[in-house]
């Protein structure tokens, strides 16, 4: 139920379109839909029906709680935890039939103690230095020992690119594939091998192996080298004007009067703020869209409200719609990220629970 004028609008058709585009561009690689962080702010359980209808049956998350939420509603799909699960909670992973990332023999031995086998993917640190076995000789022995455990089913092996300089990505990929060759020489092969995420899926099609992990792609986010792709942004943030103030020249607006009017003007209040996930550093620098035109953020963004200039909007009135971001209205998430000096994923993920999601 929508109980306020500020809400996020999610275009499920856009998500379906983006999945189908990935399927068309691929060469039969299995797609893992990465839906961590509340499906990048879009609503975890609300988007899964669309993804499943598009043929997705493997989902990647960051935490055990995210995996449980999916398995409770969709027990038929596979869910893989891409991050670390503490040993003391691995029994829950096993009981729920969740696929777990592991990067130590110790983790595997904990899982092996359970009566029912647990599927795992082994993480290799090819240079990201976040999680994973270092691709060295001693790791081969540990991975052989993991493969030998009767109640641990090693389904896959993967790594993650830093996606900085191309030369660094090439070095990481070559280190990973070299280690895979060494593992193969030791008698170890894997059903799934993967290193590509949304960016590297198009940047390095030769790196796709037989599985890819797509997250931001599903929601229409493009990197600089994906500008020609027909991805559609699925998320818009919208509100309505709650009040209009008449501000005289020289008067201040908001906390600390960090904005002072240079002329007589009207200022609109919008009932949304940084507690909803709108970036506070858009203060006095960002803009919204009203009646198809930009309206500059005026003063400091508050916890629950913000103000914008109506200098270029003489006919705007209380109740008129506002787009805080939305590509269809000419303000893509990438532009917000640029002004806020962050990345697109953070803008999407920072939407808080009190922002209702409306699905179209």
**Active-site position among 73, 89, 184, 255:** 255
Secondary structure of residue 57 in the 3-state scheme: coil
Asked if 133 and 103 touch (Cβ cutoff 8 Å), the reply is: yes
255 as an active site residue: the answer is yes
Task: State the chain's maximal CA–CA distance in angstroms.
Answer: 78
Secondary structure of residue 272 in the 3-state scheme: coil
Structure tokens at 309: 């200039």
For tokens 């200022």, the residue is 267
Q: How many residues does the chain have?
A: 360
30 as an active site residue: the answer is no
Q: What is the CA radius of gyration of the chain?
A: 24
Asked if 216 and 232 touch (Cβ cutoff 8 Å), the reply is: no
Structure tokens at 267: 């200022």
Asked if 311 and 319 touch (Cβ cutoff 8 Å), the reply is: no
Q: What is the side-by-side strand order in the sheet with 243-247?
A: 243-247, 265-270, 306-309
Asked if 254 and 261 touch (Cβ cutoff 8 Å), the reply is: no
**Active-site position among 7, 36, 40, 222:** 36
- Among 242, 244, 312, which Cα is nearest to 270's? 242
- Among 144, 142, 211, 200, which Cα is nearest to 173's? 200
Secondary structure of residue 148 in the 3-state scheme: coil
Q: What are phi and psi of 354, to 5 degrees?
A: -75, -5
Asked if 57 and 77 touch (Cβ cutoff 8 Å), the reply is: yes
Q: How far apart are the two ends of the chain, measured CA to CA in Å?
A: 14
| Helix (H) or strand (E) run with residue 338 in it | helix 333-340
Secondary structure of residue 343 in the 3-state scheme: coil
Q: In the structure, how many helices (H) and strands (E) does the chain have?
A: 11, 19
Secondary structure of residue 316 in the 3-state scheme: coil
Active-site positions read 36, 255
């Amino acid at each position: 139920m929508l109980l306020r004028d500020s809400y996020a609008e999610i275009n499920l058709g856009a998500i379906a379109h983006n999945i189908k585009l990935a399927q068309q561009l691929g060469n039969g690689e299995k797609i893992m839909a990465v839906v961590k962080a509340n499906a990048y702010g879009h609503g975890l359980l609300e988007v899964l029906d669309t993804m499943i209808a598009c043929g997705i049956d493997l989902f990647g998350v960051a935490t055990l709680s995210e995996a449980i939420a999916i398995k409770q509603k969709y027990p038929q799909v596979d869910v893989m935890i891409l991050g670390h699960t503490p040993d003391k909670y691995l029994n829950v992973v096993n009981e729920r039939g969740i696929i777990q990332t592991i990067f130590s023999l110790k983790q595997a031995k904990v899982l092996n103690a359970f009566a029912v086998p647990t599927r795992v993917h082994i993480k290799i640190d090819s240079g990201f230095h976040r999680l994973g076995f270092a691709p060295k000789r001693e790791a081969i022995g540990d991975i052989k020992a993991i493969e030998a455990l009767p109640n641990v089913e090693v389904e896959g092996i993967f790594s993650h690119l830093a996606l900085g300089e191309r030369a660094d990505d090439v070095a990481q990929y070559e280190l990973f594939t070299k280690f895979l060759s060494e593992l193969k020489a030791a008698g170890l092969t894997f059903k799934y091998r993967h290193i590509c995420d949304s960016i590297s899926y198009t940047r390095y099609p030769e790196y796709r192996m037989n599985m890819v992990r797509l997250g931001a792609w599903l929601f229409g986010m493009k990197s600089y080298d994906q500008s020609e792709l027909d991805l559609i942004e699925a998320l818009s943030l919208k509100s309505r004007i709650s009040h209009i103030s008449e501000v005289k020249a020289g008067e201040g607006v908001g906390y600390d009067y960090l904005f002072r009017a240079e002329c007589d003007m009207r200022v609109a209040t919008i009932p949304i703020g940084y507690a909803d996930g709108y970036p506070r550093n858009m203060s006095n620098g960002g803009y919204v869209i009203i009646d198809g035109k930009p309206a500059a953020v005026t003063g400091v963004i508050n916890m629950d409200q913000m103000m914008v200039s109506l200098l270029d909007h003489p006919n705007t009135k209380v109740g008129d719609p506002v787009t805080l971001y939305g590509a269809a209205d000419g303000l893509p998430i990438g532009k917000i990220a640029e002004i806020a000096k962050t990345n697109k994923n953070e803008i999407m993920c920072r939407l808080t629970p009190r922002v209702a999601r409306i699905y179209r």
